[in-house]
Amino acid sequence: MSEEIKISIFEVVGSPLCVASGDGQKVYDRLKVALEADREIFLSFHNVTTLTSAFLNAAVGQLYGPFSEEKIRSSLKVVDAEQDDLRLLKRVVDNAKRYFNDPERFNQVFQEIMEDEDDEV
Amino acid sequence: MRFSLPQIRHSYSSFETLAYLYTQTREYILDDIEIYMGETDWFDADMCAAFGAILYSLGRRLNEVSLIGIPQRVERILSKNGFLSHYGRARIPDQYDTTIAYRRFDVEDDHYFANYIESELIYRSEIPEMSPALLKKFRESIFEIFSNAVLHSKTDLGIFSCGQFFPNRNRLDFTVADLGVGILQNIKENIKEYAELKLSPEKAIAWATEEFNTTKRGKLPGGLGLKILCDFIDLNGGCIQIVSDAGYWQRRNYKIVTKRLSHPFPGTVVSVEINTADQHSYSLASELTPEDIF
């Protein structure tokens, strides 16, 4: 069994406001090293009060570029997260999987938008 | 040059006015520009963000901007929120504390913006009492707007914000403006499939508010911020308006309205109206567990 490591988002960012993409990058840098070292990671949201998709895209979403879904699922555990934080994280993760797996999505949605009728004020 | 400003509300027609002001003045360098506000008998304070962005771009080209003839009532509100401090007036105390200060931020000022939001919106007893769930969603939405400007505007002129709340109407207005490339240009520059397509500015905004759409390329995914914001506004019963280039896009009660501005705005404005009496729990019927995430 692999060694465990706990990464506290609050400790990495130094603030309960986890909103900036640059701060998310700091979390990502640590997660990446830990995943490459085959550690079992507990990512703690303790004391985090505010999250944005920009932060979570940088911190967690971009993991789906270099790492497989299986690797992330088996190695990364979320702890101390509130229900609405989990919901946002789930959305970011689903978006990231799609971003890295489905490059054709843009044309599909564009077509839908072009077919919509405009409303008038 | 003298420009007469009518009343300004956060509405399509006022965005038209501000975009026209920009178009009329965009070629001026090292000039004196007078904005006559004698007919500005109303000014929605949060619109200082969009107005300030345009005036800042004038100052950047070393024009001297004077705001003259301001009716007393408008002068008082624009002095209370600090806007007129940028144009030679003193800031006056906000006795009823209903203003959210006008500020300009650089794109790397995430932490300053976070502190501004905390001090202006969160730790003030005068802010209408909002449920903890609403306050959290609202705060996150404001940060989503700012992050969107940071990530996409590519501006070196800054990001401008301002707000106002109306205790008697249970409403809070907040606007963020940037002087960046705009949504349409961003799409064309970043998505090669769209570079040659005739995409209207209002369609570009509509595209950017759809889930999974992003101009981000490379290792960092994106494409959620505006969708999350819209979902919140729908549930809250508020309204969101986005202006970018010559596109105008509004969403209220799940209904989208788009229009074309006669002149382009030099960047992007996101303006929200929040219903502060909202008691929505913002919880889902089924709860997620950490095992459901990855």
Give the model's pLDDT for residue B193: 65
Name, in order, each residue with C-beta under 8 angstroms of B78's C-beta and a sequence gap of 6 or more: B43, B45, B48, B70, B84
Q: Is A37 helix (H, G, I), strand (E, B) or coil?
A: coil
Q: Helices H, strands E: what count in chain B? A: 8, 8
User: B193 vs A107: CB contact, 8 Å cut-off?
Assistant: yes
Those residues with Cβ within 8 angstroms of residue B246's Cβ, 6 or more apart along the chain or in another chain: B19, B201, B202, B260, B261, B262, B263, B264, B265
Instruction: Collect all residues with Cβ–Cβ distance below 8 Å to B56 and sequence separation of at least 6.
Output: B104, B157, B158, B160, B179
Whether A113 sits inside 8 A of B293 (CB atoms) is: no
The torsion angles phi and psi of A92, rounded to 5 degrees, stand at: -65, -40
Position A111 scores a pLDDT of: 58
Q: Is the pLDDT of residue A121 over 50?
A: no
Residue that the structure tokens 């940037």 belong to: B178
For residues B181 and A22, which has the higher predicted lDDT (pLDDT)?
A22
- Which CATH class for the B2-278 domain? alpha beta
Which are the contacts of A90, defined by CB distance < 8 A and separation ≥ 6?
Answer: B288, B292, B293
Instruction: Tell me which residues of chain A, numbers 62 to 101, contact chain B at a CB-CB cutoff of 8 Å.
Output: 62, 64-66, 69, 72-73, 76-79, 81, 83-84, 86-93, 95-96, 98-100
Q: Rounded to the nearest 5°, which phi and psi values hold at B17?
A: -60, -45
CA distance B22 to B155: 17
Q: Where on the phi/psi map is residue A48: left (φ > 0), alpha (ψ -120 to 50), or beta? A: beta
Helix axes A21-36, B132-152, angle to 10 degrees: 90
Which residues of chain B make contact with A109, given a CB cutoff of 8 A?
207, 210, 212-213
Q: Looking at chain A, which residue has its C-alpha nearest residue B287?
A: A83
Chain B: give the shortest CA distance to residue A75, in Å.
10
- For residue B211, give the nearest of A113, A68, A115 by alpha carbon: A113
pLDDT tens for chain B, residues 1 to 294: 899 999 999 899 999 999 999 999 999 999 999 999 999 999 999 999 999 999 999 999 999 999 999 999 999 999 999 999 999 887 787 766 788 999 999 988 988 998 898 888 777 666 667 777 888 888 888 998 998 888 888 888 999 999 998 888 889 999 999 999 888 887 877 776 666 667 889 988 988 888 777 766 678 787 788 888 898 899 899 999 999 999 999 999 999 999 999 999 999 999 999 998 888 777 665 688 888 899
Side chain identity, residue A77? K
Residues of A in contact with B194 (CB under 8 A): 106, 110
Query: Does pLDDT of A117 surpass 50?
Result: no
Instruction: Give the minimum alpha-carbon distance from B81 to chain A in angstroms, rounded to a whole number.
Output: 25
Nearest C-alpha in B relative to A106: B213
Structure tokens at B54: 């345009």
Cα(B138)–Cα(B232) distance, integer angstroms: 8
CA distance A4 to B144: 33
| B-chain residues near A96 (CB < 8 A) | 221
